[in-house]
A = this chain, B = another copy of it.
Amino acid sequence: MIRLAAGIDIGGTNSRFGIVDANGKILAHDSINTTDFPDAKKLAKTIAHKISDLLPNDSELAGVGIGAPNGNFFKGTIEFAPNLQWKGVVPLAKYFSSALHCKAILTNDAKAAALGEMLFGGAKGMKDFIFITLGTGLGSGIVVNGELVYGHDGFAGEVGHVIMIPGGRICGCGRKGCLEKYCSATGIVTTYREKLSVTRKKISDEVDSKYIYERAQQGEQAAIDSFNYTGEMLGLALANSVAYTRPEAIFLFGGLAQAGKLIFNPVRKNFEKNLLQIYKGKIKILPSKLKEDDAAILGAASLVWKEVK
């Protein structure tokens, strides 16, 4: 009887799920449209059914891990997630544990991915690290002494909402100057538009971070400058982060992190420049070892393996 974990990633458009073994191998996976389920309980039932079908013979479910936006680890709930159709507080972990008769653990997606990095990625054996996702926004998971930092109510680790520039760019959170408005796939687009607007060039509506990456690869100065500025801001923010928890390493994940040297060079340079003397030269900034496509399911399943192992 082999023990397996299910990992579920709840997204605004799609929800993906899979069966993950204790070595972090995804044995099977599937997805459904989140938007087809105005009732979260029905979504849980449907996914639970599909998970049962995906489970191989002679296996048992050690538990279900769920990564979700605005996920609250302590309560197993999704709370007021702006990008999901379900309003208010949704007790999703309870729905899954009822449907699958096993333990269900829920947290936000970035924290889940941080656990994935610790159990199956580049942070194996590390006890103190910071995991940063550079997607539409900037998500983070902070690990201290081998444990995710949840804080008093489960909502620790919102590094994307550290105010970098008081009175700066307007953020979706209602404040101004948050880190994620500068260091994310959307942040770099804003930066690029600002840089090009000076040259009065016409800018296509379709510009995204991938486009900027390609332009930078072709040597376009505004695109390169956009990466440099993003790296400058992120380097400073990460240097400041070190003063809180003094990680062994910081991992960058997500589309923007895949730009390689274009982003890592300016980040590392500005990180070192802004580090307090006692930290200089001691902290690595590394690309995540999680595969972009697997990370969400693997991270969610890690919630189970972290407790079971």
**A positions within 8 Å CB-CB of B:** 127-128, 142, 144-145, 147, 149-159, 161-163, 166, 173-175, 236, 239-241, 243-248, 274, 276-279, 282-283
Contacts and interface: CB of A to CB of B under 8 A. Distances in A.
Nearest to A249: B152
Given A149-B244, A153-B246, A158-B276, 19 more contacts: A127-B152, A128-B151, A144-B144, A144-B149, A151-B247, A152-B248, A155-B279, A158-B243, A158-B246, A158-B278, A161-B276, A162-B240, A162-B243, A163-B239, A163-B240, A163-B274, A244-B244, A244-B245, A245-B245
Contacts of A274: 163, 166, 175
Contacts of A145: 147, 149-150
Contact of A236 (B163, B173, B279, B283): B163
A175 B274 CA distance: 8
B151 A246 contact: yes
A246 B277 contact: no
A186 to B, nearest CB: 18
A245 B153 CA distance: 10
A277 B173 contact: yes
A244 B159 contact: yes
B245 A156 contact: yes
Contacts of A276: 158, 161, 173, 175
28 contacts: A128-B152, A142-B245, A144-B156, A145-B149, A149-B244, A149-B246, A151-B246, A151-B247, A152-B283, A153-B246, A154-B246, A155-B246, A155-B279, A156-B243, A156-B244, A156-B245, A156-B246, A157-B243, A157-B244, A158-B246, A159-B244, A161-B243, A163-B239, A166-B274, A173-B277, A175-B274, A175-B276, A244-B244
Nearest to A145: B147
Contacts of A161: 243, 276
A278 B108 CA distance: 14
A77 to B, nearest CB: 13
Nearest to A157: B244
Contacts of A162: 240, 243-244
Contacts of A247: 151-152
B163 A278 contact: no
Nearest to A72: B278
Contacts of A248: 152
B153 A144 contact: no
Contacts of A174: 277
Counting chain B CB atoms within 10 Å of each CB, which of A236, A274, A278 scores highest?
A278
A145 B152 CA distance: 8
Nearest to A279: B155
